Amino acid sequence: MSTVERQAKIRMILVNTSHPGNIGGAARAMKNMGLTELYLVQPKEYPAPRAVWRAAGARDLLANARIVESVDEAIKGCGLVVGTSARERRIPWPLINPRECGMKIWQESEHHDIGLLFGREDRGLTNSELHKCHYHVHIPSNPEYSSLNLATAVQVLAYEIRMASLSDAEGVLPAMNDWDQPLATADELESFHEHLAETMEELKFYDPNNPKQLITRMRRLFNRTRMDKMEVSMLRGLLSATRRTRPK
Ligand code: SAH
């Protein structure tokens, strides 16, 4: 697969952005680094002239940006989803640094679409958005002032993807391990998690009035294993069989 085809599999997804200038800045940062797929989840003010000014020579990227209603819609079909985070969260998630993130994204771009999520300027990504991710990435900034400008964060991560692609062109980036089945996509995982939650509730294993983070921990467990499509359908078969055969 060509470099351009792989670049086109990497979606930079800006969630609920307030300032259109940041959207333009992100488009420019992406184009400078050879990325093309900009997704905007419910931008607060868009289209906007300020986005166009800040995009400078990257207006084509803005014009082609996909505006969608939800994070689920933005990550549909993605085999890898990574969420950015400016700070520590309550429940730790598999965490990678920008360099590892660039390498992983580039390696996997040969096999499936990838979503990299960026949060709101004032409060980042919500927990439920972060819990849809396989990994979180943190730019190791000054702990006393850890939050970068949104477009700057896009720049740093796009640069690392670029560096990984250049290492690959030189033949020094290891390829992703061969696997016999394609990995499950974000939407398949989401349906699996819903099926699991319904089954746990029906079996009275899970009490929605006393959740104790069970659902979050199950999400973390299964997202960490990077299940393939066949593994997901096996587990869904098991859940269906459990529900069918449960004594009434
Ligand atoms: N106050 C917010 C910060 C949001 S900054 C919070 O506490 O989460 C806006 C967005 O820029 C973040 O959601 C993330 O996408 C990106 N960003 C900013 N600083 C970052 C960092 N150090 N590491 C990774 N992403 C960062």
* Per-residue pLDDT tens digits for 102-135: 999 999 999 999 999 999 999 999 999 999 999 9
Ligand 1 in reach of 147 Cβ (< 6 A) = yes
Tell me, rounded to whole angstroms, the distance of Cα 177 from its chain centroid: 20
pLDDT range class, residue 210, cuts 50, 70, 90: confident
Counting ligand 1 atoms within 8 A of each CB, the residue from 71, 147, 152, 157 with the most, and so the one to mutate, is 147
pLDDT at 212: 82
Mean pLDDT, residues 182-204: 97
Contact, 150 vs 17, CB < 8 A? yes
Could you tell me the pTM of the whole model? 0.97
CA 95 to CA 65: how far, in whole Å? 28
Ligand 1 centre to CA of 143 (Å) is 12
pLDDT range class, residue 238, cuts 50, 70, 90: very high
Ligand 1 in reach of 125 Cβ (< 6 A) = yes
Tell me, rounded to whole angstroms, the distance of Cα 111 from its chain centroid: 16
Ligand 1 centre to CA of 73 (Å) is 22
206 contacts: CB under 8 Å, gap ≥ 6 = 197, 200, 214, 215
pLDDT at 89: 76
Residue 13 phi/psi, 5-degree rounding, is -115, 115
Q: Which domains does the chain have, with CATH numbers?
A: 3-169 (3.40.1280.10), 186-245 (1.10.8.590)
Listed residue (40, 43, 24) closest to 32, CA to CA = 24
pLDDT at 246: 77
Question: For 79-99, how does the pLDDT look when each residue is reduced to its tens digit (9 = 90+)?
Answer: 999 999 998 777 899 999 999
Ligand 1 centre to CA of 66 (Å) is 22
